[in-house]
Structure 1
Amino acid sequence: MSKQSFQDLKYEIELKNAEIDELTMELQSRSEEINKLKLYSTKLKYEKKNLEDKLDTKIDYDKARIKELDDLSEKLIEKDAIIEDKQDQVKYLRSLIDDYKNQIGSTTENLEIQLRKISKTYEGLLEQKDMIIQKQDEQISNLIKSNEETVKSNKTNIISLKLQNEKYQEIIDKFTKTN
């Protein structure tokens, strides 16, 4: 082998070594990019987990509010039963008044006084019932609004996170396939 061909081979080897070094640096650069994307993907997963935890907390809060509304509904049913009972009492007392009106004037006056008292109690109970119904309607309305806002916010966040996750997954897949 001549000296010239030996130098040509040596020069070619140096070129190949330079190409190998260049490819090695490019590989390291891509490896760093992949690691950055993996870290970002992990961060997104953590944020998604936090959002899910917040949603679970909100759901638990809403369940507690619903239970509170159920309790108010039970109280309302109890008040309705009391009102019905009072209505029955009023009807009964009115019939007594009619019967005794014919017999004794003084007894009639006492029964009318009792009837007025019961009517006032009845009106008070009706007012309480109306206030409970109004409060329950307001709570239901607030709960529905809150729930709708939470659902909208969570849907938007989940869609955004899914799109970002798909985008980064495509980038990772692209870098993985090229390697």
Structure 2
Amino acid sequence: MSKQSFRDLKNEIELKNAEIDELSIELDSKNEEINKLKLYSTKLKYEKKNLEDKLDTKIDYDKARIKELDELHEKILEKDKIIEDKQDQVRYLRSLIDDYKTQISSNSQELEIQLRKISKSYEDLLAQKDSIIKKQDEMIDKLTKSNEEIVKSNKTNVISLKLQNEKYQEIIDKLTKTN
């Protein structure tokens, strides 16, 4: 694995961490919104109670107030549903964050394992390279020695042939002189 690939993977991990930070910020925002909605819900419940108290004292006002209370109750239910939805969103976001953390951890472990394997393979390749170079050096030495021996042998053969040639020349000269 090249340094560039490792850097890319490291950058990807940093991006995932940034996404986690963004999701955490969003989670905090959702929690604040839920708290506001809870306060608003509590306020609406309080208003409902006040309206119920007024209902007891003002019978003429009953029908209008009952309608208002029903509307407030519907709003409370809507707000409760919104709160439940927001809580579901928060749970979902938390599960996503946990999944991202698990995935990042798993990826980091896998990268470390791969880096170790690559380092080991690289070391093995270096050892093989050194072995090949050593064998090549030995072969070169053997070939050099063999070449030197061949050169010596050739010199000896050339000298021997010259001597033989000279002897034959003498014999030829003797034979040509005698004839």
Q: Which residue of 2 aligns with 1:137?
A: 91
Sequence identity percentage: 9
**8 Å contact kept, 1:100–1:108:** yes
What amino acid sits opposite 1:115 in the alignment? Answer: L
Cα deviation, residue 71, structure 1: 2.1
Name the structure, 1 or 2, with higher relative contact order (CA <8 Å, separation 6+): 1
**8 Å contact kept, 1:90–1:115:** no
Q: Which residue of 2 aligns with 1:41?
A: none
Mapped pair 1:92 → 2:47: yes
Cα deviation, residue 173, structure 1: 6.3
Q: Structure 1 residue aligned with 2:38, among 74, 77, 83?
A: 83
Mapped pair 1:71 → 2:33: no
Mapped pair 1:165 → 2:119: yes
In 1, Cα distance between equivalents of 2:97 and 2:108: 16
Secondary structure at 1:98 match in 2: helix
Q: Which residue of 2 aligns with 1:153?
A: 107
Q: Which residue of 1 aligns with 2:80?
A: 126
Gap change, CA 1:80 and 1:112, over 3 Å in 2:
farther
Aligned runs of 1:41-80 on 2, under 5 Å?
Answer: 44=1, 46=2, 48-80=3-35
Secondary structure at 1:77 match in 2: helix
Q: Structure 2 residue aligned with 1:112, among 29, 48, 66?
A: 66
Cα deviation, residue 52, structure 1: 3.5
**8 Å contact kept, 2:55–2:61:** yes
**8 Å contact kept, 1:76–1:129:** no
Superposed CA deviations along residues 86-116 of structure 1, whole A, max 9, x for unmatched, are 32233234234314522x2122332222121
In 1, Cα distance between equivalents of 2:46 and 2:104: 50
Where does the alignment leave 5 or more consecutive residues of structure 2 unmatched? 138-179
In 2, Cα distance between equivalents of 1:155 and 1:83: 42
In 2, Cα distance between equivalents of 1:128 and 1:56: 37
Superposed CA deviations along residues 29-58 of structure 1, whole A, max 9, x for unmatched, are xxxxxxxxxxxxxxx3x2x43144234224
In 2, Cα distance between equivalents of 1:168 and 1:93: 75
Per the normalisation by structure 2, the TM-score is 0.58
Where does the alignment leave 5 or more consecutive residues of structure 1 unmatched? 1-43
Cα deviation, residue 121, structure 1: 0.9
What amino acid sits opposite 2:117 in the alignment? Answer: L
Per the normalisation by structure 1, the TM-score is 0.58
**8 Å contact kept, 1:101–1:107:** no
In 2, Cα distance between equivalents of 1:145 and 1:68: 12
**8 Å contact kept, 2:34–2:83:** yes
Cα deviation, residue 124, structure 1: 0.8
In 2, Cα distance between equivalents of 1:68 and 1:138: 11
The higher radius of gyration belongs to: 2
Secondary structure at 1:105 match in 2: coil
